[in-house]
Amino acid sequence: MNELLTLAILPGIIWAALVFLRVPGVTLILSILVGKLFAEELSQNTYDLATKTVSISDTQQIQLFLLFLPVVLTIILTQSKTPKSKVLSNAIPLLFAAVTLILFALPYSGFSDKISASGQDIVNSYQSYIVCATGGIGLLFAWSPDLFKSKHKGKHK
């Protein structure tokens, strides 16, 4: 199967699972960004600590673990927190979150070596746009309850 097709299907499967579990999209986006921060900043310290207790071959496994740890905890702790009436609107940030998660996991997985040079060019050229759009969508949905509230309070009798 074509690697780029797999890269298109995998976020769709993750997205469907997240929508089914009714995970809040904004919270998931935040946990993905925190996971990316953990993977970049804590990987060497965690690798040094882990090699003392468990035999691990490289830091990419640790980085993948650190990326997915906040995401998995968020899914476990916040599943079914989105009201059923908001599942459709929550699906938009979840879609962007699923794509961003796959893009962030790609360099730490062995799958990135299997993608052709032209496929890696496509992924790299659109990655920053997708991550920025995910952040913007996350902020928009985080602000949306306040954006659409009425500023005028009615008189109570």
Which of 125, 92, 127, 130 is closest to 106 using CA atoms? 127
50 within some domain? yes
153 within some domain? no
CA 87 to chain centre: 17
> What is the spatial distance between Cα 65 and Cα 8, in angstroms, rounded to a whole number?
22
The total number of structural domains that make up the chain: 1
151 within some domain? no
The first and second tokens of residue 60, run together, are 């990419």
> What is the spatial distance between Cα 5 and Cα 122, in angstroms, rounded to a whole number?
12
86 within some domain? yes
pTM: 0.81
Which of 8, 59, 10, 11 is closest to 38 using CA atoms? 59
CA separation (Å) from 33 to 22, 28, 38, 67?
A: 19, 9, 9, 8
125 within some domain? yes
Confidence at residue 145, expressed as pLDDT on a 0 to 100 scale:
72
Confidence at residue 129, expressed as pLDDT on a 0 to 100 scale:
92
| Mean pLDDT per 10-residue section of the chain, whose length is 157 residues | 76 94 94 92 75 72 90 94 88 94 87 71 83 92 70 58
Confidence at residue 157, expressed as pLDDT on a 0 to 100 scale:
54
156 within some domain? no
Confidence at residue 124, expressed as pLDDT on a 0 to 100 scale:
78
Contact 22, 90 (CB under 8 A): yes
157 within some domain? no
154 within some domain? no
The residue range of the domain holding 60 is: 3-145
